[in-house]
Amino acid sequence: MQQKNITEYDKEYEIKDHPSVKGVKIIEGQNNFPISWLNQQGYCEYQLYLENMKGIETQPTPAMTQGSKIHHELEEIFKQDSTPSKFEDAVEASKTEASMSREVTVIAPNYGIRGDIDEIWMKPDEIVIIDDKPGRTPYQSTMNQVRAYCLAYKDMTGEERKIKGALRERGTENLFWIEIFTPEVEKQIKFTIDRIQGLIDGTRPFVPTKNPKKCRSCRFKNNCEHAK
Ligand code: SF4
Protein backbone atom coordinates (compact mmCIF):
# COMPACT_ATOMS: atom_id res chain seq x y z
CA MET A 1 0.00 0.00 0.00
CA GLN A 2 1.29 3.50 -0.82
CA GLN A 3 2.09 5.64 2.22
CA LYS A 4 0.79 9.20 2.06
CA ASN A 5 1.62 11.87 4.62
CA ILE A 6 -1.37 14.22 4.79
CA THR A 7 0.04 17.73 4.95
CA GLU A 8 -2.74 19.92 3.51
CA TYR A 9 -6.52 20.26 3.45
CA ASP A 10 -8.78 22.16 1.07
CA LYS A 11 -11.04 23.48 3.79
CA GLU A 12 -10.04 26.05 6.40
CA TYR A 13 -12.20 26.83 9.42
CA GLU A 14 -12.68 29.77 11.68
CA ILE A 15 -11.41 28.49 15.05
CA LYS A 16 -11.57 30.27 18.42
CA ASP A 17 -10.89 29.15 22.00
CA HIS A 18 -13.92 28.56 24.21
CA PRO A 19 -13.99 31.32 26.85
CA SER A 20 -14.20 28.98 29.85
CA VAL A 21 -13.88 25.28 28.95
CA LYS A 22 -10.36 23.97 28.39
CA GLY A 23 -9.98 21.82 25.29
CA VAL A 24 -13.15 23.12 23.66
CA LYS A 25 -12.86 25.31 20.56
CA ILE A 26 -15.54 27.23 18.76
CA ILE A 27 -15.41 26.15 15.14
CA GLU A 28 -17.79 27.66 12.62
CA GLY A 29 -19.72 29.12 15.58
CA GLN A 30 -20.25 25.77 17.39
CA ASN A 31 -18.66 24.20 20.46
CA ASN A 32 -16.19 21.57 19.26
CA PHE A 33 -14.52 19.04 21.57
CA PRO A 34 -11.60 16.61 21.04
CA ILE A 35 -12.77 13.12 20.05
CA SER A 36 -10.47 11.68 22.75
CA TRP A 37 -13.03 13.01 25.25
CA LEU A 38 -15.26 10.10 24.31
CA ASN A 39 -12.67 7.75 25.74
CA GLN A 40 -12.54 9.74 28.98
CA GLN A 41 -16.33 10.09 29.11
CA GLY A 42 -16.72 6.32 28.94
CA TYR A 43 -14.33 5.95 31.88
CA CYS A 44 -15.83 8.69 34.05
CA GLU A 45 -17.53 11.90 32.99
CA TYR A 46 -16.39 13.63 36.15
CA GLN A 47 -12.80 13.45 34.92
CA LEU A 48 -13.85 15.74 32.06
CA TYR A 49 -15.32 18.17 34.56
CA LEU A 50 -12.23 18.23 36.81
CA GLU A 51 -9.78 18.60 33.95
CA ASN A 52 -11.61 20.96 31.64
CA MET A 53 -14.07 22.96 33.75
CA LYS A 54 -12.12 23.13 37.03
CA GLY A 55 -8.72 23.19 35.33
CA ILE A 56 -7.13 20.48 37.53
CA GLU A 57 -3.76 19.42 36.14
CA THR A 58 -2.18 16.03 36.82
CA GLN A 59 0.96 14.21 35.82
CA PRO A 60 0.52 11.78 32.90
CA THR A 61 0.45 8.12 33.97
CA PRO A 62 3.42 5.87 32.99
CA ALA A 63 1.11 4.18 30.42
CA MET A 64 0.31 7.58 28.84
CA THR A 65 4.01 8.53 28.66
CA GLN A 66 4.98 5.19 27.15
CA GLY A 67 2.07 5.40 24.67
CA SER A 68 3.18 8.86 23.49
CA LYS A 69 6.76 7.65 23.04
CA ILE A 70 5.76 4.68 20.83
CA HIS A 71 3.33 6.89 18.93
CA HIS A 72 6.02 9.47 18.19
CA GLU A 73 8.53 6.84 17.05
CA LEU A 74 6.02 5.26 14.64
CA GLU A 75 5.12 8.68 13.28
CA GLU A 76 8.76 9.54 12.54
CA ILE A 77 9.31 6.22 10.72
CA PHE A 78 6.15 6.79 8.68
CA LYS A 79 7.18 10.33 7.64
CA GLN A 80 10.52 9.08 6.26
CA ASP A 81 8.83 6.49 4.03
CA SER A 82 5.80 8.45 2.81
CA THR A 83 5.02 11.05 0.15
CA PRO A 84 3.22 14.29 1.07
CA SER A 85 -0.37 14.62 -0.10
CA LYS A 86 -3.41 16.80 0.27
CA PHE A 87 -6.17 15.00 2.18
CA GLU A 88 -8.79 15.37 -0.55
CA ASP A 89 -6.35 14.12 -3.23
CA ALA A 90 -5.47 11.05 -1.14
CA VAL A 91 -9.18 10.22 -0.67
CA GLU A 92 -9.89 10.57 -4.38
CA ALA A 93 -6.82 8.60 -5.55
CA SER A 94 -7.64 5.74 -3.16
CA LYS A 95 -10.78 4.98 -5.18
CA THR A 96 -8.48 3.26 -7.68
CA GLU A 97 -5.30 2.59 -5.68
CA ALA A 98 -5.03 1.78 -1.98
CA SER A 99 -3.01 3.97 0.36
CA MET A 100 -2.45 4.40 4.07
CA SER A 101 -1.89 7.54 6.13
CA ARG A 102 -1.10 8.30 9.76
CA GLU A 103 -2.05 11.17 12.06
CA VAL A 104 -4.90 12.39 9.91
CA THR A 105 -6.76 15.35 11.36
CA VAL A 106 -10.54 15.25 11.05
CA ILE A 107 -12.90 18.11 11.89
CA ALA A 108 -16.69 17.91 11.81
CA PRO A 109 -18.14 21.29 12.77
CA ASN A 110 -21.69 19.96 12.27
CA TYR A 111 -21.23 17.54 15.18
CA GLY A 112 -18.77 19.67 17.14
CA ILE A 113 -15.94 17.11 17.11
CA ARG A 114 -12.33 16.98 15.97
CA GLY A 115 -9.32 14.73 16.40
CA ASP A 116 -6.33 12.98 14.92
CA ILE A 117 -6.78 9.47 13.53
CA ASP A 118 -3.79 7.24 14.25
CA GLU A 119 -3.97 5.43 10.91
CA ILE A 120 -6.32 5.17 7.91
CA TRP A 121 -6.25 2.57 5.20
CA MET A 122 -8.04 3.96 2.14
CA LYS A 123 -8.83 1.14 -0.27
CA PRO A 124 -10.93 1.14 -3.43
CA ASP A 125 -13.64 -0.88 -1.69
CA GLU A 126 -13.43 0.28 1.93
CA ILE A 127 -11.97 2.71 4.45
CA VAL A 128 -10.46 1.36 7.68
CA ILE A 129 -9.97 3.80 10.55
CA ILE A 130 -7.58 2.54 13.21
CA ASP A 131 -6.88 3.74 16.73
CA ASP A 132 -3.90 2.30 18.64
CA LYS A 133 -4.50 1.36 22.26
CA PRO A 134 -2.54 -0.41 24.99
CA GLY A 135 -3.78 -3.96 25.64
CA ARG A 136 -6.31 -5.98 23.69
CA THR A 137 -9.64 -5.19 25.34
CA PRO A 138 -12.26 -3.23 23.38
CA TYR A 139 -13.95 -0.97 25.95
CA GLN A 140 -17.13 0.96 25.22
CA SER A 141 -15.10 4.15 25.63
CA THR A 142 -12.41 3.21 23.09
CA MET A 143 -14.96 1.84 20.62
CA ASN A 144 -16.87 5.13 20.88
CA GLN A 145 -13.71 7.09 20.17
CA VAL A 146 -13.17 5.18 16.90
CA ARG A 147 -16.85 5.53 15.98
CA ALA A 148 -16.55 9.30 16.34
CA TYR A 149 -13.51 9.30 14.05
CA CYS A 150 -15.59 7.36 11.50
CA LEU A 151 -18.40 9.90 11.79
CA ALA A 152 -16.03 12.86 11.37
CA TYR A 153 -14.31 11.24 8.38
CA LYS A 154 -17.67 10.50 6.75
CA ASP A 155 -18.89 14.03 7.39
CA MET A 156 -15.75 15.55 5.87
CA THR A 157 -15.68 13.40 2.76
CA GLY A 158 -19.27 12.35 2.08
CA GLU A 159 -17.71 8.89 1.75
CA GLU A 160 -19.88 6.27 0.06
CA ARG A 161 -17.48 3.36 0.48
CA LYS A 162 -17.91 1.03 3.44
CA ILE A 163 -16.20 2.50 6.54
CA LYS A 164 -14.81 0.27 9.28
CA GLY A 165 -13.53 1.31 12.70
CA ALA A 166 -10.80 -0.76 14.35
CA LEU A 167 -8.71 -0.91 17.51
CA ARG A 168 -5.13 -2.14 17.28
CA GLU A 169 -2.79 -3.29 20.02
CA ARG A 170 -0.21 -0.49 20.19
CA GLY A 171 3.14 -1.28 18.56
CA THR A 172 1.78 -4.43 16.83
CA GLU A 173 -0.29 -5.35 13.76
CA ASN A 174 -3.00 -6.95 15.90
CA LEU A 175 -6.43 -5.48 15.09
CA PHE A 176 -8.27 -6.84 18.13
CA TRP A 177 -11.63 -5.21 17.35
CA ILE A 178 -13.17 -4.19 14.05
CA GLU A 179 -16.69 -3.01 13.23
CA ILE A 180 -18.55 -1.75 10.17
CA PHE A 181 -19.79 1.81 10.68
CA THR A 182 -23.46 1.06 10.02
CA PRO A 183 -26.36 3.55 10.19
CA GLU A 184 -27.25 2.05 13.60
CA VAL A 185 -23.72 2.62 14.96
CA GLU A 186 -23.81 6.14 13.50
CA LYS A 187 -27.07 6.90 15.28
CA GLN A 188 -25.73 5.63 18.59
CA ILE A 189 -22.49 7.64 18.44
CA LYS A 190 -24.38 10.81 17.49
CA PHE A 191 -26.46 10.31 20.64
CA THR A 192 -23.31 10.02 22.81
CA ILE A 193 -21.74 13.09 21.15
CA ASP A 194 -24.92 15.00 21.84
CA ARG A 195 -24.63 14.04 25.51
CA ILE A 196 -21.12 15.52 25.69
CA GLN A 197 -22.34 18.70 24.00
CA GLY A 198 -24.91 18.85 26.80
CA LEU A 199 -22.13 18.55 29.43
CA ILE A 200 -20.27 21.45 27.80
CA ASP A 201 -23.26 23.77 27.57
CA GLY A 202 -24.44 22.89 31.09
CA THR A 203 -27.74 21.26 30.14
CA ARG A 204 -26.58 17.86 31.49
CA PRO A 205 -24.67 17.02 34.69
CA PHE A 206 -21.25 15.31 34.76
CA VAL A 207 -21.98 11.91 36.31
CA PRO A 208 -19.14 10.36 38.39
CA THR A 209 -18.47 6.63 38.01
CA LYS A 210 -19.85 4.26 40.64
CA ASN A 211 -16.98 1.83 40.09
CA PRO A 212 -14.37 2.06 42.92
CA LYS A 213 -11.82 0.22 40.77
CA LYS A 214 -11.84 3.10 38.29
CA CYS A 215 -11.35 5.62 41.11
CA ARG A 216 -8.38 3.67 42.48
CA SER A 217 -6.46 4.07 39.22
CA CYS A 218 -7.76 7.57 38.41
CA ARG A 219 -5.15 10.33 38.11
CA PHE A 220 -7.68 12.83 39.55
CA LYS A 221 -8.53 10.86 42.69
CA ASN A 222 -6.71 13.26 45.04
CA ASN A 223 -8.77 16.17 43.71
CA CYS A 224 -12.12 14.47 43.44
CA GLU A 225 -14.91 14.75 46.00
CA HIS A 226 -16.59 11.67 44.48
CA ALA A 227 -13.54 9.35 44.76
CA LYS A 228 -14.54 5.99 46.23
S1 SF4 B 1 -11.88 9.67 41.33
FE2 SF4 B 1 -13.52 8.36 40.51
S3 SF4 B 1 -15.34 9.70 40.39
FE4 SF4 B 1 -13.53 11.01 40.63
S5 SF4 B 1 -12.94 11.59 38.53
FE6 SF4 B 1 -11.74 9.79 39.11
S7 SF4 B 1 -12.90 8.01 38.37
FE8 SF4 B 1 -14.28 9.78 38.41
Give long-range contacts, CB 8 A cutoff, 24+ apart: 44-48. Answer: 44/208, 44/209, 44/214, 44/215, 44/218, 45/199, 45/206, 45/207, 45/208, 45/209, 46/206, 46/207, 46/208, 46/209, 46/220, 46/224, 46/226, 47/218, 47/220, 48/196, 48/199, 48/206
**Residue ranges of domains in the chain:** 2-223
pTM of the model: 0.93
State the CATH class of domain 2-223. Answer: alpha beta
**How high is the pLDDT of residue 68?**
82
> What percent of the chain shows pLDDT beyond 90?
85
Q: Tell how far the Cα of 30 is from the centroid of ligand 1, in angstroms.
A: 28
Q: Cα angle vertex 52, ends 35, 194, to 5°?
A: 45
Task: For ligand 1, pick from 211, 220, 223, 225 the residue to mutate: most ligand atoms within 8 Å of CB.
Answer: 220
The response to whether residue 161 sits with its C-beta less than 6 Å from ligand 1 reads no
pLDDT, tens digit (0-9, with 9 covering 90-100), for 126-169: 999 999 998 999 999 999 999 999 999 999 999 999 999 999 99
The response to whether residue 48 sits with its C-beta less than 6 Å from ligand 1 reads no
- Measure CA 226 to chain center: 27
* Euclidean distance between CA atoms 36 and 144, whole angstroms: 9
